[in-house]
Structure 1
Amino acid sequence: MAATILVTAITLPALADPLPAGFVRLADVDPSIRQDIRYAGSDNFLHRKVNGYGAPVCILTEDAAKALSAVQKAIAAKRLTLVVFDCYRPARAVADMGEWTKQGGPPDPQWYPEVRRSDLIAKGYVGELSTHSRGSTVDVAVAQMDRRSSPNPACGTGDADTLDFGTGFDCFDSMSETAYRGPASEAAANRKMLVEAMRAGGFKNYAREWWHFTLKSEPFAKQRFDFPITAD
């Protein structure tokens, strides 16, 4: 009997750790939403992969993923698609960003043109805690389904085919405030369209970042997670 059990244990296939209960990979809910997960590579304000991002994959709570899919279906009638830049963010990634700011340095023209790196937390651009770690916050823009290219933003970065939002994702500057009055009329209209579409889907915008939205009825409003982001 003992030998049989031993053989069985040896021959069992290794199984990947499942996601925590209540979490899903967005592609399993709505593969039509484009994913451009910036912290899994070097095209972000740290200029390197962020700790905890083992794959360029969007993970969200099931509630948030389904709500985002509803937004996608609503804008698809206009030949538009959502593009997500960040979704669930492990607590270790938030800590990594915080430690990075302590290294100090001058402003970075692409990412934080008017603020020194060491001031990014104090100015509210990098958080010591993040709603992303609760699993129902998403950084998102909108693009044409036919992938028509748009101008590369002067601050921050964006998918090459997103609509004009005045700045790119993660531009740490007052220009990124949702109601900032400086952007051209087209960019302001696109911000308004995004906010209204996400609001209709049950999300609320963070006023300092036009791309940042949290599900109003998030299931883990007082809990943060730290499991790594993996492909499966």
Structure 2
Amino acid sequence: MTDLPIPDLPVPDWQTISQIPIHESAEAFQAISLSPKIRTWPAYFKMGIAHTMPECYIREGVYQRLLEATRYLPDHLTLVVLDGWRPFKVQQFLYETFLALLSEAQPDWDEAQRIAQARQLVSPPSIDPKAPSPHVTGGSIDVTLMDADGCLLNMGTLFDEASPLAFSAAFEGRDDLTATQQEARDHRRLLYHAMRQAGFTNLPTEWWHYDYGNQMWAWHRLEAGEINAESAQAHYGVSHPHTLEYMWRSQLGLPH
């Protein structure tokens, strides 16, 4: 799969994405650390960010497709999950922090410019039932690869790096790549094609971000001509892993 380039895909049209209907499947969540085939490294929890969790949760359908993706990788490589379902407060923190840093770094930009730039890395926090942030649905996942020794592969940038090189296809169509960049390009291709074969779509501004079942996934499929506008719909809306507090709140009729 290292011979197959990553296509240069369009940046999401957030207005159109927000209008795709959601028919919630009520699918349960799966704790990824239970899998013997996938490793987890909950990056934001390891960073000490408030309200994060020491586990990576995703919808069961996402989990099954993630297992499928492992079958398309070379035997010596393993998928590593960095983030899955994300609490609203964490989404809010990430977005507001990056937006504030953009205001400091680009004081001449207007608000629209800063928001457009921020959305390439972090979606605005939303638990609107009709237009939720992708990660709060349990349908988005951030992944990378590691070798048999537990070393993360060179992917060209760090996870969540705010750089044009973080675009999935940043190393495609170039004849001036260094050996290190060629290696990163090939690793990205392995990850991309394994995930795509399993039914995921990729956010083109982030080599690590993949979607299944949410509005972002439906929009990418629509853009690729895999479905038509009449059949475009998402399966996952705002949801929450069934933690003890969540269960008790549900049983007591309290808001989640």
The answer to whether TM tops 0.5 is yes
Q: Specify every segment of 5 or more residues in structure 2 that has no aligned partner in the other structure, as ranges.
A: 1-25, 126-132, 172-176, 218-232, 245-256
Partner Cα distance (1:33, 1:106) in 2: 39
Q: Percentage identity across aligned positions?
A: 26
Partner Cα distance (2:29, 2:241) in 1: 11
Contact 1:60–1:88 (CA under 8 A) maintained in structure 2: yes
Q: Does 1:131 align with 2:121?
A: no
Partner Cα distance (2:79, 2:147) in 1: 9
The corresponding residue for 1:163 is 153
Contact 2:200–2:210 (CA under 8 A) maintained in structure 1: yes
Give how far 1:21 is off: 5.0
The corresponding residue for 2:168 is 178
After TM superposition, the score normalised by the length of structure 1 is 0.67
Superposition CA RMSD, Å: 3.1
The corresponding residue for 1:225 is 239
Number of aligned residues: 181
Task: Map residues 84-163 of structure 1 onto 2, 5 A cutoff.
Answer: 84-101=81-98, 103-104=100-101, 106=104, 121-123=115-117, 124=119, 125-129=121-125, 130-147=133-150, 161-163=151-153
Give how far 1:228 is off: 8.6
Q: Flag as ranges the 4+ runs of structure 1 deviating above 3 A.
A: 101-107, 119-122, 216-222, 226-230
Contact 2:94–2:122 (CA under 8 A) maintained in structure 1: yes
Partner Cα distance (1:32, 1:229) in 2: 24
After TM superposition, the score normalised by the length of structure 2 is 0.61
Give how far 1:206 is off: 0.6
2:28 to 22, 26, 30: 22
Q: Which has the higher contact order (CA 8 A, sep 6+)?
A: 2
The corresponding residue for 1:65 is 63
Q: Specify every segment of 5 or more residues in structure 1 that has no aligned partner in the other structure, as ranges.
A: 1-19, 43-47, 108-114, 148-160
Judging by fraction of residues, say which structure has more helix. 2
Contact 1:141–1:211 (CA under 8 A) maintained in structure 2: yes
Greater displacement, 194-203 / 214-223:
214-223
Partner-residue secondary structure (3-state), 1:189: helix
